[in-house]
Amino acid sequence: MGAAVSSSPARPGGLWLAFSKNRLSWVGLALLAIIIIVAIFAPLIAPYDPLEQNIVARLEPPSAEFLLGTDSYGRDVLSRLIYGTRISLTVGFIAILIAMTIGSMIGILAGYVGGVFDQIVMGLLDVMLSFPTLLLGLMIAAMLGASLENLIIAIAITEIAPFARIARAPTISLKQRDFVEAGRALGFGPVRIMGVHILPNMISDVVVMSSLWMASAIRTEASLSFIGLGVPPPTPTWGSMIREGFENILDAWWLAVFPSLAILLTVLALNLLGDALRDAIDPKLRAE
Amino acid sequence: MIRYAIKRLLLAIPTLFVMLTAIFVLVRLVPGDAAAVILGDQASEASLRALRTTLGLDQPVYMQYLSFIGDVLTGDLGRSLSSGRSVGQEVLLVLPYTIELTLAAIVIGVALGLPLGIATAVRRNGWVDYAGRLISLVGLSFPAFVSGILLLIVFAIQLGWFPVLNSGSSGDPIERLRNLALPAFNLGIIMMAYVVRVTRSSMLGVLGEDYIRTARAKGVRPGRLVIRHALRNGLIPIITVVGLYFGTLIGNSVLTEIIFNRPGLGKLILGALNARDYTLLQGLMIIFAICVIAVNTLTDLAYGLVDPRVKYK
């Protein structure tokens, strides 16, 4: 992501400078790096098999043997937490990638075509934006049925509108620039102008925002899993772990608390990073 | 102003239609035969056919669409498949609880967020600013059910200050407040996080204006400067955020109601979901859509009222 941002021709080194000066952004980056490493090397790090049930060790509190305790099937909470990282990051990443692709295409098209088409598209996006993300995701996931693919689709749909908005604004200013005019004079078709001349010049704006919306996507995934619309059991996901923990909240607090902290840390890391990146590309804030 | 208001209201009509159409399509996304999904595998062919007739699924799609729009326009949102009550009745039964919760959350959010937001802007880059920004970022990062569970464990289970099982409907006002406290605080801190951020950036913008420097040069005291001169002009974006946050608030209230076992729209949705009560779900979606559009329109109107420049756009 860093490479894509700093190679943008419209914004030279200043972006990186502004980003690296912000201390909180480093905290976010470090946290995120740790979380990604945990997800990739889950089988090496996890002390137990996340699916292995152990009838004699049910609802054990945190101890030297089970660092974060065990759940009502005797499964190790720490191992499930580690594997859960994979689901959260995968769903968040793929959903955002889909939303970013579709959203950017809609935004560029609306901005480039302009006129009535633009007004209609933006009106629709406003409606989508104002509908609560969680409810929209909940409705779509409920209608499609609970599975990993449907979860990703539902979350991707809820995140399309903000990407389209972000992609549209720079498109409108870019299409009046000389190099676009020159391309048109040379007889390039609109698809080529949008894809080759406009997209590379605004992609950094879109990519930068994606970490903020990935935070939102992960939050939605956890919420849907908590409600019971996520990846079906026995696959460990943070949201469904909290759901199980919530059912045992009076006698096993650790079941709900640790996955809660995991979600909080992941979302916070992405928000810290996203905030710093957004401040860095905002010339108003950078100048100060 | 009246012309602006009329224009804004007229704009809400196509929006509503698009929203209704989207809901119609969404409900028909249920894979396979909706009647079979609702009744389960064991249902007899006769009962399946009866349900299809009740739901109008035996009609062609365009007829279904027309009667759907017609029903909504005449205020008929359908009947719950599980309770048999009309969707309107179902909603009215629980609406007071949700309104009570959201209003309390807005009050808490603004009461905590506004002063903190002003403090972060006035003491920019000081420790208050850093602490305030971090608090608001943590608040934004909490999914509502995560913060709810942590509050429940600490204040209800460990400290025992508040009831774990929420009765919600208690007649005793003190008991009612005790029931409301934790869920309202849970939603309130998320609201606060939004208010702090917007207040900060809005106040930073206003504090840099020339008229603030003029006022300061004239010797206006700092407290008066911030409240009378800066805050009044920085208030517009804050109002908008409270309006825009309404949607998020409703979404989060679903999770909060589940955690604190409070009756309300959230529990109603979850119940409909578990019972595969698609007519109730569809009706609830329509009601949410109407609410969101109404709040958006009202926010825009309030905007026009506070800032005369808006209506000339």
What are the mean pLDDT values of chain A's consecutive 10-residue runs (288 residues total)?
40 63 80 88 77 71 72 78 88 92 91 82 77 81 82 89 86 82 82 80 80 87 86 83 82 82 89 81 52
Separation in Å, CA B37 to CA B28, B31, B34, B42: 12, 9, 5, 11
CB contact under 8 A, A222 and B143: yes
What is the number of CB-based contacts under 8 A between chain A and chain B?
117
Q: Which of B137, B149, B270 sits opposite A256 (nearest CB)?
A: B149
Q: Are A197 and A179 in contact (CB under 8 A)?
A: yes
- Whether B265 and B177 map to the same domain: the answer is yes
> A142: closest CA among B274, B86, B248?
B274
Look at residue B166 in the predicted model and tell me its pLDDT. 60
Q: Please spell the DSSP secondary structure of B237-254, one letter per residue.
A: HHHHHHHHHHHHHHHHHH
- Whether B69 and B99 map to the same domain: the answer is no
Burial grade of A262 (CB within 10 A; 0-12, 13-18, 19 or more): buried
- Whether B38 and B127 map to the same domain: the answer is no
Domain with B143, as residue range(s), is 91-311
- Whether B28 and B169 map to the same domain: the answer is no
Residue type, position A277, single letter:
L
Q: Does domain A89-206 have CATH number 1.10.3720.10?
A: yes
The three-class DSSP label of residue B68 is: helix
CA B186 to chain centre: 14
CB contact under 8 A, B292 and A226: no
CB contact under 8 A, A272 and B15: no
Total domains, chain B: 2
- Whether B297 and B177 map to the same domain: the answer is yes
| Rounded Cα distance, B250 and B256, in Å | 10
Look at residue A10 in the predicted model and tell me its pLDDT. 45
Instruction: Count, in order, helices (H) and strands (E) of chain B.
Output: 13, 0
- Whether B285 and B216 map to the same domain: the answer is yes
Look at residue A148 in the predicted model and tell me its pLDDT. 87
Reported as a single tens digit per residue, the pLDDT across A183-233 is 888 888 888 888 777 888 788 778 878 888 888 888 888 888 888 887 887
Q: At what angle do helices B144-151 and B173-207 cross, to 10 degrees?
A: 130
* DSSP category for residue B86: B
| Rounded Cα distance, B173 and B161, in Å | 16
CB contact under 8 A, B141 and A223: no
A263 reaches B (C-beta below 8 A): yes
The three-class DSSP label of residue A76 is: strand
- The reply to whether B3 falls in a domain is no
Query: How many angstroms away from the CA of A185 is the closest CA of chain B?
Result: 34
Look at residue A14 in the predicted model and tell me its pLDDT. 63
- The reply to whether B84 falls in a domain is no
* DSSP category for residue B276: T
Interface test with B, best of A24, A25, A223 (most B CBs within 10 A): A223
| Rounded Cα distance, B27 and B273, in Å | 12
Q: Are B182 and B147 in contact (CB under 8 A)?
A: no
A272 reaches B (C-beta below 8 A): yes
Q: Are B187 and B103 in contact (CB under 8 A)?
A: no
> A255: closest CA among A84, A44, A36?
A84
> A277: closest CA among A10, A12, A97, A26?
A26
Instruction: List the single residue in A with minimal CA-CA distance to B265.
Output: A135
> A242: closest CA among A229, A259, A224, A230?
A259
B289 reaches A (C-beta below 8 A): yes
User: Which stretches of chain B drop beneath a pLDDT of 50?
Assistant: 313
Could you give the count of Cα atoms lying within 13 Å of A107 in the half-sphere of its Cβ? 29
> Could you tell me where in chain A the CATH 1.10.3720.10 domains are found?
89-206
Q: Is the dihedral of CA B164, B168, B172, B174 positive or negative?
A: positive
> A54: closest CA among A78, A80, A72?
A72
Query: How many angstroms away from the CA of A180 is the closest CA of chain B?
Result: 29
CB contact under 8 A, B149 and A139: no
Q: Which of B138, B144, B285 sits opposite A268 (nearest CB)?
A: B138
- The reply to whether B81 falls in a domain is no
> CB neighbours (10 Å) of residue A30?
13
- Whether B179 and B278 map to the same domain: the answer is yes
- Whether B17 and B113 map to the same domain: the answer is no
Residue B80 structure tokens: 């719950």
